[in-house]
């Protein structure tokens, strides 16, 4: 698979097969991603690979907090405090597409909650990857981290794996950090669900739209 094919094939997968991912495969993935660029080669990434009993214990803590009304508090603001168009419209379209595919109606609050709770189990993928950063680092390192995360997802495509990048997995740093032994002042950025796609799952059947090149590009000569 070439890089352009991987870019076009990658999608956020929300249902996975009950099939383990070997440590060797995860190492191969991270071995490739470590070549990602970073400003002055700072390499700010700190990765936790959570699987097996450790994953079950962690996700049970997070999901329990969510279901008991703890909405969590991420280490940074991922989204704007006030939504405006066109971003508000794209966000709404994205959510409606998933819920309509799953036939979850607006008034069905229980199914909505259950679907959202699946975020905190990394959609039952066999591997939950969590990404941390030293608190001394600034906004440029968030850009570096974005390239590192994309490298992981593209490498996963090449290895026949599926991923879902998840901002939601950063909602509960007060649970995740002490459980995994990361410092309270470290920055928890996000997570990635990693595994093998369940291609028969309805939730994996839709694709979100993308802008055309001419809609976001200006050429200057």
Per-residue pLDDT tens over the stretch 146-192: 999 999 999 999 999 999 999 999 999 999 999 999 999 999 999 99
Q: Is the pLDDT of residue 41 over 90?
A: yes
pLDDT confidence of residue 87 = 96
Question: Which range marks the domain in which residue 104 is found?
Answer: 3-206
Helix segments in 10-138, DSSP class H: 23-33, 52-67, 87-101, 109-117
Peptide bond preceding 193: is omega within 30 degrees of 0, i.e. cis?
A: no
Task: Give yes or no for residue 30 having a pLDDT over 90.
Answer: yes
Does a structural domain hold residue 65? yes
Output the pTM of the full model. Answer: 0.95
Residue 215 CA to chain centroid, in angstroms?
26
Domain-embedded: residue 182? yes
Band of the pLDDT at 195, cuts 50, 70, 90? Answer: very high
- Overall domain count for the chain: 1
Helix, coil or strand: residue 196: coil
User: What is the per-residue pLDDT across 95-137, written as a single tens digit (0 to 9) for each?
Assistant: 999 999 989 888 888 999 999 999 999 999 999 999 999 999 9
The pLDDT-based confidence of 28 (bands split at 50, 70, 90) is very high
Residue 217, in any domain of the structure: no
pLDDT of residue 106: 85
Residue 39 clears pLDDT 90, i.e. is over it: yes
- Average pLDDT (7-13) is 96
The strand pairing partners of 166, in sequence order, are 191
Query: Quick one: average pLDDT of 49-70?
Result: 97
Mean pLDDT calculated for residue range 65-78: 96
Would you say residue 35 lies in a domain?
Answer: yes
Give domain status of residue 23, yes or no.
yes
Query: Does the pLDDT at position 1 exceed 90?
Result: no
pLDDT at position 107: 86
Domain contains 8: yes
Distance CA 166, CA 129 (A): 10
Residues 20 and 188: their CA atoms lie apart, in Å, by 25
Question: What CATH number should be reported for the domain holding residue 69?
Answer: 3.40.109.10
Asked if the structure places residue 219 within a domain, the reply is no
Instruction: Judge whether 216 lies within some domain.
Output: no
The pLDDT mean for the chain works out to 96
């Amino acid at each position: 698979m070439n890089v352009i094919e991987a870019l076009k094939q990658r999608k956020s997968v929300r249902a996975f097969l009950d099939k383990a991912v070997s440590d060797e495969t995860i190492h191969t993935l991270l071995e490739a991603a470590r070549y990602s660029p970073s400003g002055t080669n700072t390499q700010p990434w700190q990765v936790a690979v959570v699987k097996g009993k450790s994953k079950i214990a962690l996700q049970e803590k997070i999901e329990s907090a969510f279901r008991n009304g703890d909405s969590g508090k991420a280490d940074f603001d991922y989204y704007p405090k006030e939504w405006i168009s066109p971003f508000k419209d794209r966000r709404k379209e994205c959510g409606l597409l998933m819920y309509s595919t799953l036939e979850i109606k607006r008034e069905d609050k229980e199914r909505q909650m259950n679907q959202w709770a699946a975020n905190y189990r990394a959609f039952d993928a066999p591997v939950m990857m969590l990404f941390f950063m030293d608190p001394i680092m600034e906004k440029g390192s968030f850009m570096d981290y974005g390239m590192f995360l994309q490298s992981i997802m593209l490498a996963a495509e090449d290895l026949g794996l599926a991923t879902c990048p998840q901002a939601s997995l950063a909602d509960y740093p007060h649970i995740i950090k002490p459980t995994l032994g990361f410092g309270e002042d470290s920055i928890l950025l996000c997570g990635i669900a990693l595994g093998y796609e369940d291609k028969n799952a309805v939730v994996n059947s839709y694709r979100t739209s993308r802008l055309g090149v001419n809609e976001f590009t200006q050429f200057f000569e």
